[in-house]
Amino acid sequence: MPTEQDSNELGYDPAHARIKAFRDSLRSLNDESDKFQACVDMRNDLLDEQTDLSVLTASIEEVMEEECPQYKESKGRWTCSSDADAKQWKRFVDIANAGASLKKKCLAPLIKVGAFWHADKVQYYGWASTGWKFCKLLGTAATRNPDWAEALVKLNQLILRRIVDGQPLRDCGNLLAQVDLIDLAAWQNKDTFVKKGHNGYTLTCDPISDSQLPAGYAFDRYGLIRCKEVAAQSQPTIQADETCSVHQPESLESDVSMAAPTRLVPNNAMVDVIAVSVPSTPPNAQTSGGSASSTPLTTPPQSPSNISIVEHPENTQLTSHAASPDITALSEADTSQTPLRTSSRLRVQPDRKPVQSIGRVPPSTRKGGSQSQKRKASSGQETNCVCTCTDTVSPKLLSAIEHLQQTNTREDADIAAAYRAQRDALCPRHVKLYALWATTGILLSQQSRDGHPLSASKRPTSYTEDSSFPYQATKRRRLSLPTQLSQSSSVIGERNSSDDRELVFVSVPEDKTEARPFHHIATDVHFRDQVLTQLEQKTAQNKPCKTWGELNAQGMHALLSRARQPATTGTESGKEAYFSTSEEAERRLEAHAALHGPIITENQQQFRWDSHKGRPIEQFFRRMGNSGRSVSVQRSSLSLQQPSFVPMRLGIVRDIFVENKISQDPLNVLDLRNPLPRSILPSFLMGEDCQLLSRIRDTILEGTTAERCSAPVAEWNRWRDDEDWALLAQGGAQTLTHQDACGKATWLTVQEGQVGFGWLSRPSEEEKRCWSSDPNAFEGGQIRFVVLRPGQTIYFEAGTIHFVFRLEQDQTLLLGGHIMRWSRIGAWIQIVLNQLRFPDATNEDLLPLAPAYVKAVAQLLMEQTRLSQSDQLVSEEVIAEFFRIKKASYLKSIRSGANTIIAIRSRNAEKK
């Protein structure tokens, strides 16, 4: 009976020739490491092909659903049918669903790469087919190195190092390896790059010349090193002194094999998803052959006579090809007609060469696509280069919108406002460009704004994250925040064009799609490293601390030096943090579920700031009213011989924050009431198990009545409003490790700025005891951290040992609150007892609140015992355990804690 190998050799396998060629190639290699490398290359090629096919299938399936009503109607019936044809359709849909999922994951980083390095490179190198992990690394590398000329020099240094080390380059479109992207992301600025470790190396940021290239290698169209045969296929051979037009086909015939990338991404692979999301055009060039809505992943439609306009690559020190003179390819119909008016920007296009298209580009299957192609063919004109706007339209407006600028400036905002009335006079093409410019260009502008140097007086744009480009695959709700954070965008809400002349924000239609927050690992680490750098400048070696700021800086530096990112994947028992949707967060807060770390969600706040009234911090103070009141404020400059806080008038605090300057003595306001409606409570915390604190409040204040609360002032003095509050801080304010008092769980929602949040992950009982005895001296345990962005909410359980850190340039506003859970009463009483034994573990005094809380909980549990078992929120075992602990330990802890607190207060009074 023939074996599987025999079957392949006999040609039964449809890929017989390819299999045989691969087997022969392996047998021709003597070195085992070379054989394994060949296996790696084949694996990568096959996976790329599978990715291409699944993404193409997803796009084709979308077209079927849009254009074929019968397909859409039949789709739902195939899952329940055993018919052979239905099984084929089900298999097709499954592949399409997998491709759609991949498209969604790869979309955000690829859009970002297209915005930074230009869309043509995304298509040319086939990056859309490289998989999620590669796209993610590529997006990070592009964000860290947005200038292609600089990134090109670094990539060539990294590629050359691999060649010298004996690692051959791939001969397909994408020649980059994941290790290249990891190193590029770590190589910032133009400094020398040093990679440590056993196989470490050092590279300089110097361009590589032709003479430095090893034999068999050359530069490709965009200046990257690759095999000479592959590079030659991608280089146009038309010389600078040649004149090219549609009247000279003979000059193009010999170059057919030289004009296209070596690898073609499936047409329309991800086009439909991002057709109106990102400009594919470089910031200084409008591609004539592409449509107005082309993207990094589209293939430009063919122009008349099978001629497409191809831009020259950017001028770099690595490209030795001479630039051609200005050439404009026109059809015969164009030359015989009086040219229509074009904008000034179209009249000064950069150098371009018409090159015959390689391979047929199928026309769009979208509605209207075929009609568009017919219009182009019948007119004989390159409609992309000609506009039919009326003479009333200002050339300045046309010039501004044609490039979908990636750096919206004050001038662009002025243009949008000044020429708003001329929108109706735009031609259809410019209407589309105007819409793209007004919706996507303004968000892309933040990539350049965030690169500005810090100002010494005015707070600069806040730290830029890389993985959260404004165009994420996950949709966001209306008025929720773009994830690219800057001075204008690091808030919840929209910006009104008339109030902020630097950016024009356009309303985004509401989208109810649930979003899971993205864990930006590399960005969070960079944020932490920036804070560490700033702290190092403040901490003097072997110098005793004299102020609270020095103590906080020293302690925070020690914490962040040990901090690592949490585990968020793998088994549930191994996770240290949970990035969750609202529904997932609700499930994790079910009574039986165990939590091993904080929950991070987003878009859980119903309240939205008014986009017409300034920053959230400004609106917050406006809602506070009565600026003559006082508030306790922590100041870094206060001596350790004094309390860490002083009372300040609210009006003074407001003026400092509204002025928005970087401060060497940052304010940290930790006890500020919430002036906003009660709609700030995250939706996933509205379950009955999370309402114990509200019941305690009612028990303390209302007694035996169920009517509206009318408790006397004396009773209110026994209660602290902990269900919601605000945290306000200037950049650089740090809060060291502590537990929240009285065993309460906590939620925080970021309104403005970025906030680093750290915690002690899964501490043992011994680690808890050691930390409680001296929190600032504790050096054990596993420190974890994340960075929270505006619109994100973090929830952490009672007893969590946590800390907060900030960059110097970012003011922050957080709304937060406490809850208590019925299902955690047993753990709660233990936490309260420990805090009474170690008062320094908390950020607030426990007395006289703790006795009132314990008494109220005891009363509520007694009520639970009188309910039927089905109505009880707490099991009888938990109730019995609570009263046992209360009886055995509580009174002793109260007395011990009270004596400790009195002793601490006495010492502070003596120092004072």
- Beta-strand ranges (E) seen in 517-639 are 578-579, 599-602, 630-635
- Beta-strand ranges (E) seen in 811-864 are 812-819
For the CA atoms of 90, 96, 99, 101, the dihedral, rounded to the nearest 10 degrees, stands at -80
φ/ψ of residue 866, rounded to 5: -90, -5
pLDDT score for 379: 42
pLDDT score for 877: 81
pLDDT score for 331: 39
Of 44-48, 85-89, 395-399, 401-405, least confident by mean pLDDT is 401-405
- Which residue did the predictor score with more confidence, 368 or 783? 783
Cβ contact 507:608 at 8 Å: no
Cβ contact 744:819 at 8 Å: yes
Distance in angstroms (rounded) separating the CA atoms of residues 861 and 855: 10
Distance in angstroms (rounded) separating the CA atoms of residues 697 and 708: 12
Place of tokens 């404009």: 328
**Which among 554, 533, 527, 468 has a CA at the least distance from the CA of 785?**
527
CA distances 636 to 549, 642, 652, Å, are: 4, 12, 17
Distance in angstroms (rounded) separating the CA atoms of residues 487 and 450: 9
- With a CB cutoff of 8 Å and minimum separation 6, the contacts of 621 are 627, 650, 654, 657, 658
Cβ contact 573:458 at 8 Å: no
Cβ contact 693:759 at 8 Å: no
If one counts every other C-beta atom within 10 angstroms of the C-beta of residue 481, the result is 26
Cβ contact 562:651 at 8 Å: no
**If phi over 0 gives left and psi between -120 and 50 gives alpha, with beta otherwise, what is residue 703?**
left
pLDDT score for 705: 63
CA distances 104 to 57, 94, 101, 441, 811, Å, are: 14, 15, 5, 21, 33
Of 497-501, 526-530, 602-606, 613-617, least confident by mean pLDDT is 497-501
For the chain, percent helix, then strand, then coil, each to nearest 5?
A: 45, 10, 45
pTM of the entire predicted model:
0.48
Cβ contact 185:522 at 8 Å: yes
Q: What is the pLDDT of residues 727-759, one digit of tens each?
A: 999 999 999 999 999 899 999 999 999 999 999
| Domain 521-823 architecture | Sandwich (2.60)
* Average pLDDT of every residue of the chain: 72
Q: What is the pLDDT of residues 284-301, one digit of tens each?
A: 444 333 333 333 333 344
Cβ contact 159:151 at 8 Å: no
Domain locations in the chain? 17-202, 521-823
pLDDT score for 902: 56
Of 64-73, 130-139, 418-427, 510-519, least confident by mean pLDDT is 510-519
Average pLDDT of the residues in 52-65: 79
For the chain, the straight-line distance linking the first and the last C-alpha, in angstroms and rounded, comes to 96
Distance in angstroms (rounded) separating the CA atoms of residues 169 and 156: 12
Q: Which tokens hold the place of 764?
A: 């043992």
pLDDT score for 799: 95
Q: What is the pLDDT of residues 321-338, one digit of tens each?
A: 333 333 333 333 343 343
Distance in angstroms (rounded) separating the CA atoms of residues 745 and 309: 62
Residue 682 confidence (pLDDT) above 50: yes
Distance in angstroms (rounded) separating the CA atoms of residues 507 and 418: 19
Residue 481 confidence (pLDDT) above 70: no
pLDDT score for 502: 36
Distance in angstroms (rounded) separating the CA atoms of residues 109 and 468: 8
Cβ contact 202:130 at 8 Å: no
Cβ contact 716:766 at 8 Å: no
Distance in angstroms (rounded) separating the CA atoms of residues 835 and 54: 56
Strand partners, 787: 756
Instruction: Using DSSP bridges, classify how beta strands 599-602 and 792-796 pair: parallel, antiparallel or unpaired.
Output: antiparallel
Instruction: Using DSSP bridges, classify how beta strands 725-729 and 667-673 pair: parallel, antiparallel or unpaired.
Output: antiparallel
If one counts every other C-beta atom within 10 angstroms of the C-beta of residue 146, the result is 20
470: preceding bond cis by omega (within 30 degrees): no
pLDDT score for 386: 53
Distance in angstroms (rounded) separating the CA atoms of residues 722 and 526: 34
Average pLDDT of the residues in 208-237: 76
Cβ contact 835:846 at 8 Å: yes
pLDDT score for 455: 39
Question: What 3-state DSSP class applies to 31?
Answer: coil
Q: What is the pLDDT of residues 257-267, one digit of tens each?
A: 333 333 334 43
**Which among 782, 431, 737, 767 has a CA at the least distance from the CA of 574?**
782
Of 131-140, 332-341, 508-517, 614-623, least confident by mean pLDDT is 332-341
pLDDT score for 846: 77
Distance in angstroms (rounded) separating the CA atoms of residues 94 and 425: 46
pLDDT score for 278: 43
Q: Which tokens hold the place of 396?
A: 């300045």
Average pLDDT of the residues in 91-111: 76
Cβ contact 601:585 at 8 Å: yes
Residue 382 confidence (pLDDT) above 60: no
Residue 669 confidence (pLDDT) above 90: yes
If one counts every other C-beta atom within 10 angstroms of the C-beta of residue 88, the result is 11
Distance in angstroms (rounded) separating the CA atoms of residues 65 and 715: 65
Residue 650 confidence (pLDDT) above 80: yes
Strand partners, 727: 814
The strand order across the sheet containing 599-602 reads 578-579, 599-602, 792-796, 745-752, 812-819, 725-729, 667-673, 630-635, 645-649
Average pLDDT of the residues in 36-59: 79
233 pLDDT tier (thresholds 50, 70, 90): low
**Which among 452, 442, 404, 464 has a CA at the least distance from the CA of 119?**
404
Percent of the chain surpassing pLDDT 90: 26
